[in-house]
């Protein structure tokens, strides 16, 4: 038997004992076919496992997203509660500021009206009375001096006594005339400057308080708009989170069924 045939027979007998198919005398085709068969059996299993892993990851991601949305919803509701408290406190502060501004404006108008109708005339009258007293005082001093001079001219008195009495009379007249001059100046200043400036100050006070009242009103409008917008945003945020949670829960339920 030829050596080539002997080797082939020996290989076939060995393969038969091992239970493994042997390639033909041409070599590898049989082995190649077996290798392809093993790969075809593994690929579907790997693809199925990959798909299952991907779905598991997606479910885990959705579950995580759902938990995050639920936490966000809880936080949003707490923020809505705190915003409601903040809204109440800011509204109270706004009301207090408006009330204060209104009271100050009313007081300024009342002060101006009182000054124009009562205080101004009263101050002038008081000063006029004081001035008239100074006028009378000066006239009395002048009359007394004239009387003294007339009396001492007709009668005989000691020279020293005469000079003393007349000196006192002249001094009283001098002080009365000086007081009258000061009183006249004070009355003019009161009428022309003091009361005029006071009236201007009161008018400016009215203007300032009116401006503050207007600013308080505008600030109140601004605050109310901001608070309304904040509340709307809070409601919209909660509504969106609730809708997102509902959709995620429906997806999770479909995947589990």
CATH of the domain at 60: 1.10.287
Q: Is the pLDDT of residue 33 over 60?
A: no
Residue at 31 is within a domain: no
Q: Please enumerate in sequence order all residues whose Cβ is within 8 A of that of 209, keeping only pairs 6 or more positions apart, or say none.
A: 101, 104, 105, 107, 108
Residue at 40 is within a domain: no
Q: Is the pLDDT of residue 24 over 70?
A: no
Count structural domains, the chain.
1
Phi/psi of residue 73, nearest 5 degrees: -65, -40
* Confidence at 155, pLDDT banded by 50, 70, 90: low
The secondary structure of 162-220 as a DSSP string is HHHHHHHHHHHHHHHHHHHHHHHHHHHHIIIIIHHHHHHHHHHHHHHHHHHHHHHHHHH
What residue has token string 């809070």? 234
* Confidence at 190, pLDDT banded by 50, 70, 90: very high
* Confidence at 252, pLDDT banded by 50, 70, 90: confident
Torsion sign across C-alpha atoms 69, 73, 75, 76: positive
Residue at 23 is within a domain: no
Cβ distance 124 to 190 under 8 Å?
A: yes
Phi/psi of residue 2, nearest 5 degrees: -65, 155
Average pLDDT (20-46) is 52
Rounded to 10 degrees, the C-alpha dihedral 106/107/112/114 comes to 110
Q: Is the pLDDT of residue 5 over 90?
A: no
Q: Is the pLDDT of residue 49 over 70?
A: yes
Cα distance between residue 128 and residue 7, in whole Å = 154
Cβ distance 231 to 134 under 8 Å?
A: no
Residue at 2 is within a domain: no
Highest mean pLDDT among 122-126, 155-159, 170-174: 122-126
Q: Percentage of the chain surpassing pLDDT 70?
A: 79
The pTM of the full predicted model, rounded to 2 decimals, is 0.59
Residue at 101 is within a domain: yes
Phi/psi of residue 21, nearest 5 degrees: -60, 140
* Confidence at 36, pLDDT banded by 50, 70, 90: very low
Residue at 155 is within a domain: no
Average pLDDT (73-100) is 93
Out of 7-16, 80-89, 164-173, which region has the weakest mean confidence (pLDDT)? Answer: 7-16
Q: Is the pLDDT of residue 7 over 70?
A: no
Out of 26-30, 130-134, 173-177, 189-193, which region has the weakest mean confidence (pLDDT)? Answer: 26-30
Cβ distance 148 to 171 under 8 Å?
A: no
Cβ distance 45 to 206 under 8 Å?
A: no
Average pLDDT (4-27) is 49
**Which range of residues forms the domain containing residue 119?**
54-127+182-256
Paired tokens of 252 = 């999770």
Q: Is the pLDDT of residue 215 over 60?
A: yes
Q: 244 vs 70, 77, 221, CA distance in Å?
A: 9, 15, 34
Residue at 61 is within a domain: yes
Q: How does the average pLDDT of the chain come out, rounded?
A: 82
Average pLDDT (6-24) is 49
Residue at 150 is within a domain: no
């Amino acid at each position: 038997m030829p050596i080539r045939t002997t080797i082939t027979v020996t290989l076939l007998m060995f393969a038969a004992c091992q239970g493994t198919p042997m390639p033909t005398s041409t070599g590898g085709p049989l082995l190649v076919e077996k290798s392809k068969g093993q790969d075809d059996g593994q690929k579907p299993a790997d693809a199925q496992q990959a798909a299952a892993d991907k779905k598991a990851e997606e479910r885990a991601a959705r579950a995580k997203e759902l938990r995050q949305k639920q936490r966000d919803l809880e936080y949003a509701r707490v923020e809505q509660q705190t915003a409601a408290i903040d809204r109440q406190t800011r509204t109270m502060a706004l009301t207090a500021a408006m009330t204060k501004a209104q009271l100050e404006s009313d007081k300024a108008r009342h002060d101006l009206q009182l000054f124009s109708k009562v205080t101004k005339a009263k101050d002038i009258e008081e000063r006029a009375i004081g001035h008239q007293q100074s006028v009378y005082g000066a006239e009395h001093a002048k009359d007394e001096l004239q009387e003294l001079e007339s009396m001492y001219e007709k009668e005989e008195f000691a020279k020293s006594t005469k000079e003393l009495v007349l000196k006192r009379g002249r001094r009283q007249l001098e002080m009365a005339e000086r007081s009258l001059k000061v009183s006249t100046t004070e009355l003019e200043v009161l009428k022309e400057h003091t009361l005029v400036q006071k009236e201007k100050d009161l008018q400016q006070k009215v203007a300032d308080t009116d401006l503050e009242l207007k600013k308080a009103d505008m600030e109140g409008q601004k605050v109310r708009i901001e608070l309304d917008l904040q509340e709307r945003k809070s409601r919209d945020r909660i509504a969106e989170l609730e809708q997102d949670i509902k959709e995620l829960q429906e997806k999770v339920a479909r995947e589990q069924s």
